[in-house]
Structures are given as structure tokens and as C-alpha cells.
Amino acid sequence: MTDPGEILIWITVCSSAITILLSLMALKGRESLSKYVEYSVFVYAAALTFAFFILLRYFTLRDFNVEYVWEYSDSNLEPIYTISAVWAGREGSLLIWAWFLALFNAVFISRSKKDSVTNLSIAIASFVVLFLSSLMLTEHSNPFIRLPFTPPEGYGLNPLLRTIEMAFHPPTIFVGYAGVTLPFAIAVAGLIYRENWIKRARSYLIFSWMFLTIGNFLGAWWAYKTLGWGGFWAWDPVENASLLPWLTTSALIHGVMVEERRKSFKNLNFFLAVTSFNLIILAAFITRSGIISSVHAFGENPIGYAYLGLIGAASLMSFIVWTKRRSFIGGIKFTNLSREAFILINILILLLSTLTILIGTLTPLFNPDVSVGKGYYNRLEIPLGTALVVLLGLCAALNWVNDRKLFAKRGKIALAGGLITGIVVFALFRVNIASLGAGIFVFSLLSHLQDFRVKDLSNRRKFGGYIVHIGIIFLFIGVMGSWLYEDSYNNVGLKVGEKIKLGSLELEFKDMKLFEDPQKYTIVSNIYIYENGKVQGVLQPKQLFYKLDRQDRVVSTVEILSKPEKDIYIAMGGMTGHFEGAFFEVYIVPLVSLVWVGCGLMVAGGIYALIPRMSRTDDVT
């Protein structure tokens, strides 16, 4: 007997195909069909909504006869992680991706005027829904497949995924993935019908960018708190895959701003919309095909290659549309010393960063003997990030009317502040790179602060954008400090009662205890942290032994003593003897708190930019 959830996926396939057919028929002059297009979108949005809640119901009932439920849950799994287990695997995450896209489509068609651009946009976006839902009907991606028997217990959720960050990371990323589809579809449809598509796409673009930002932030925070290596970004292929579309959507937001102001960058913006969509699909291929090794990727899946077909189809369609309508687009126009010129350079830096990260991510695919490590990325991305932050400062100093006297005045103040800061930092610490980074930080920050006016608070897009920029500036100095000046002490062996000196710190291993709950056994170590003879705090790194029949049931947890200037970070590696001692990984991570401050400001800026318009000036940033 076919599962009700699978029946709903079939309904989605049929209704999305009908939506495409009705949309294309409406484009042929049968405009009366537009209302039926809307109805059919609502049908597949409702079908996927019910399918999601049916799968959620199976998890809450512990229905281990459903293979996907058996694989990702167990009887003792906490409620919050029982819910997050719905999207923990390939099948469930594909379902929420399609569901989110269906909801986006329903909102778009209900809010848009019923014209040719809307009909063609919804046809393109519905094709993506059709593609994703069709994959769910295959053996490797169907979340509703039932086993021939009912196991007494589930295999269990991976212990590394039992964190609040990982409960929210996948859905936020997939909201971003789903949302990027609409700007792409609207761009293609708008170009075909020679319409300025950016006004229709802008809100969806910013909304998607914001969720990609949140998703990447949560992923970095999870890695920092969970994996025990003292960092938050390892340049893993799956990590990179979610970063790439964030870079191109960031570039597109800036390009859209120039197109609104100067009617320029139309070619570039179309390219960025197409590229952002393709990178979303590429991310799915990297994560779901199993062809690239990653701790975050799913296992091998022959259906994964279908994503490459979608990339090819989207690229071919976009190229054909561009060649037929390029006369409508026009070229790039700007003067040498202008804000749009600086924005163009910013966009090119973002694209260069995208290209270099993409090359590093895909190189092992073409040459398995080559390993691309952190050194490759740090040598390239740190200088590019530095150039980006400098240009953000230059853009803020030069206004849209290209007032060069004002630019010179602001530039002198910002440059003087940056130079003084750099000199002071060098005098205090005698560190060249840190002095340069601090100077650039202050230069760019002062440039933005000088451009702020109280009236800008009513201009949600301008003020939101500045909050985002300041967030990036804080992120820059935090990344530089944590990546370049981290101190690490690996495999630090301590016996209970023993003390050890590590740089300016002293660690005392007070005791170690064992606890049990229905899910696991927990070994807790109590470590007292001293600096300059004073107790700074007590950390309790743990080792967890989950009561699961799986090889990865043992995990270590991280404990962090956070200060504004640094984190003291300890992870428990393993126990020696019978509660006699243990090994620890210890890291001193400077300025990492600024990474989280920067991420928070970026999210806050995105939210502020989406607040409904408060004034007429908000139309232009």
C-alpha cells in the first residue's frame, strides 16, 4: 500500500507539471488561465505542507517502520531533536527544500500582478519544484519508504547533530536556497519580456541572502562549539558550497542597487542571478552526490548527477535568452571616481573570491591526488577580504553624487584614524599584520560612521545596508585575529589533581565524574583556569557515550570561557586509566567574539532592510 506521504508527492509532481502547462498556455494569449495557475500553485504548496507534517508525525510517533524515521531517530531522542531529525538526512532535507520553494511560489503569485512575467517566472520556479519532487519519488531520496518489518528501536540521530545550532542550520539554509530560485526565474522572465525585473525580485533576494547569512553563521557556530578543533570554518567542500551563493547574492544586491540608480550593470546582474541559482544547485550536487568527501556530505547517490543536468538546462536557457535580448540590456556605465566604480570593484572581488573557492572545492573532484587545505584558502581569501573591507570604506566615503571634496574630507579623517590606530597597535604589540588589520578596521568603520545621518533611520535599505557593512568590518577583524593569532596545545595530558602551564594560562584538573541519563553516559572533567595567579573560570569539557548501536556514538563536547578579547577553548579528547586522567585540546582564540558580533550585525541589517517602507527616500539607497 502506498504511503499517504508518497501520494502527496505524486500530487505535487502532477500539480507542478499542470502549473507549468497552464502558465505557458496563459502566455499564448489565454490570460483567463492565470487564476488557475494560482490555484495549481496552491495545490502543490498544500500537498508539500501536508507531506511535511505527515513525516513529522511519523517521527513523533516513533514509527520505525518508515525507513527514514528508523535511520534518524530513536525512542529516547529529545523532542527538539525529534523535530530536527525530519531534515537531518538527504530525504527529509529535500522535502523541506521543495516545501519552502512551494511556499515562496505561493506568496509570489498571490502578491504579483497577473501578467506574462509572473506567469513565466512561476513556470520556471514550478519546474524546480517538479524537479525536486520527482527526485523524492526515487529509491534514494524518498522519505516515505517503509521497511518490510518494524524494528524495535531506531538507529538514532548522529550525536553531532544533537545541538540547537544544527536543529536550525539546515532549514535556514534551505529557505535561502529556495528563495534564490525566484530572483533567477524573475530575471529570465523579465529579460524575455524586456521588463526591469529587479523591483519584483529585490525583496526575495534580500530575504534569501539574510537566511543564507543566518545559515552560514549557525553552521560556523556549530563547528566552533561542537567539533573541538578550535575553529569555525575549515574550508570543507560542503561549507564552501553554502558560502558560494552567499558571495554571489551579496554581489547581486550591490549590482541591483547600481541598476536602480544608474540603469547600469544589467548584464552583470543577470549573470549574477543565474550564477547564484546554479551555485545553489551545485551545492546540492556536492552535498548529495557523495562524489566529494566531506564530514557534512550524505552518502553516495547516483541520482545526485541529476543536479548537474538542472545546472546545464538553466545555463543553456539563460544563455539563449541573453543572446536574444542583449540589445535591451546595454553596457556598464560609470565614471572613474564614483561610488558605482567602487561597487563594481567590490563585485569583482566577490566574484574572484567565489572563483578561487570554487576551484579549491572542485579540484579534488578532477584530481583526487590533490588535497586543497586551509593554507590555499587563507593565502587567497584573507587578502581579498582585506581589499573588500578597504573598498567598503571608500564606497561609504564617496556619496552617489560623487562629491569629491566631501570624499577627500571623509577620507582624510578615516585615513588619519586608521594610521593612528595602526601605529598604536604596533607600538603596543609589535605585530605587523595585526597593526595593518586594526588600521583598516578603523578606516572603514570611520568612513561609515561619517556617512550616517539620523534621517537615514527612516531609509530602511540604506541604514540596513550600513549595519551589514559594519558587521562585515567586525567579521573581518575577528577572522584575522582568530585565524592568524590562535595558540593551540594539542593532546595535553593531565592527571586528576595535576596542574600545567600553557603560555600565560595555568590549568588545574580538579576531578572527573560519571553521570547517566536515559540517552547516554557522560564523563565530566572540571578544569580550573588561572591567569596571572587569578582564577578566570571553571570549564567542564565532557565526553558523551550515547546508548546507540552505531560507531559514532561517542562524542566530545567543547567548553569555552569567553572574554571580549579572546576565548579559552577546551575539548576533551579521551580518558586515561580508570578516571585517572584525560587528554585535552586547548586553544586560545583571539578576537573570535567579533566574528559573532559581525554575523549578528549582518543579520540585523538584513532584517532592518526588509522592514516595510517608512519613507519615499527608501526607494533609493
Element spanning 192, H or E = helix 164-192
Q: How confident is the model over 182-201, as a mean pLDDT?
A: 94
- The cell numbers describing 236, all together, are 570543507
CA distance between the termini of the chain: 57
Return the half-sphere exposure (C-beta side, CA atoms, 13 A cut-off) of residue 220: 22
What pLDDT, on the 0 to 100 scale, is given for residue 459? 84
| pLDDT average, residue stretch 199-213 | 95
Check pLDDT > 80 for residue 419: yes
- Spell out the alpha helix ranges (H) of 112-162: 116-135
pLDDT > 90? residue 117: yes
Q: Shortest CA distance to 209 belongs to which of 146, 279, 115, 271?
A: 279
Q: What is the pLDDT of residue 575?
A: 87
3-state secondary structure 322-388: HHHHHHHHCCCCCCCCCHHHHHHHHHHHHHHHHHHHHHHHHHHHHCCCCCCCHHHHHHHHHHHHHHH
pLDDT at 549 over 90: no
| Sign of the C-alpha dihedral computed for residues 70, 71, 76 and 80 taken in this order | negative
Strand 542-546 relative to strand 558-562: parallel, antiparallel, unpaired? Answer: unpaired
**Cα separation, 255 vs 265, whole angstroms:** 6
Residues counted in the chain: 621
* The dihedral formed by the CA atoms of 591, 597, 599 and 604, expressed in degrees to the nearest 10: -170
pLDDT of residue 331: 64
- The answer to whether 321 and 299 are in contact (CB under 8 A) is no
Q: Percentage of the chain with pLDDT > 70?
A: 96
pLDDT digits (tens, 9 = 90+) for 137-183: 998 899 999 999 999 999 999 999 999 999 999 999 999 999 999 99
- pLDDT tens digits, 328-381: 776 666 666 788 889 999 999 999 999 999 999 999 888 877 878 888 999 999
- The sheet with strand 581-590 has its strands ordered as 487-495, 581-590, 566-576, 558-562
When pLDDT is averaged across residues 496-519 and rounded to a whole number, the result is 93
Please give the Cα distance from 77 to 74 (Å, whole number): 6
pLDDT 10s digits, 284-306:
999 888 777 665 556 667 788 89
Nearby residues of 87 by Cβ (< 8 Å), 6 or more positions away? 93, 95, 96, 170, 171, 174
**Mean per-residue pLDDT for 598-609?**
94
Instruction: Read off the pTM.
Output: 0.93
> In this structure, what C-alpha cell is assigned to residue 224?
566552533
Contact 289, 301 (CB under 8 A): yes
| Bridge partners, residue 513, by sequence | 524
How do residues 249-273 score in pLDDT, each as one tens digit? 999 999 999 888 888 888 999 999 9
Q: Which of 538, 540, 507, 537 is nearest to 522 (CA)?
A: 540
Q: Which cell numbers in the block locate residue 203?
A: 525583496
Mean pLDDT of the chain: 91
Number of Cβ within 10 Å of residue 96's Cβ equals 21
Q: How confident is the model at residue 223 (pLDDT cuts 50, 70, 90)?
A: very high
Cβ–Cβ under 8 Å, residues 617 and 458: yes
Give Cα separations from 373 to 297, 383, 528, 545, 578 (angstroms): 18, 17, 35, 31, 38
DSSP string of 525-592, one letter each residue: EEEEEEETTEEEEEE--EEEEESSSSTT-EEE-EEEEE-SSEEEEEEEEEEETTTTEEEEEEEEEETH
At 340 the pLDDT is: 87
**pLDDT tens track for 486-502:** 999 999 999 999 999 99
Determine the pLDDT at residue 614. 43
Q: Please report, to the nearest 10 degrees, the dihedral formed by the alpha carbons of residues 319, 321, 323, 327 taken in order.
A: -140
The whole-number pLDDT of residue 299 equals 63
Strand partners, 515: 522
Q: What is the DSSP letter of 531?
A: E
pLDDT for 332: 66
Between strands 534-539 and 499-502, the pairing is unpaired
pLDDT of residue 615: 42
Helices 460-484/592-610 angle, 10° precision: 160
Indicate if the pLDDT at residue 202 is higher than 60. Answer: yes
H and E: helices and strands count for the chain:
17, 10
For residue 428, the Cα-to-chain-centroid distance in whole angstroms is: 37
User: What is the per-residue pLDDT for 475?
Assistant: 96
Report the pLDDT value the prediction gives residue 619, as an integer from 0 to 100: 42
Mean pLDDT of 372-399: 92
Q: Is the pLDDT of residue 22 over 80?
A: yes
* Residues in a beta bridge with 183: none
Bridge partners of 489?
A: 586
Task: Give the residue carrying C-alpha cell 523532542.
Answer: 79
Q: Which residues pair with 568 in a beta bridge?
A: 561, 588
For 475-479, what is the mean pLDDT?
95
Cβ 344 vs Cβ 334: under 8 Å: yes
What span, in angstroms and rounded, lies between the C-alpha atoms of 25 and 104?
22
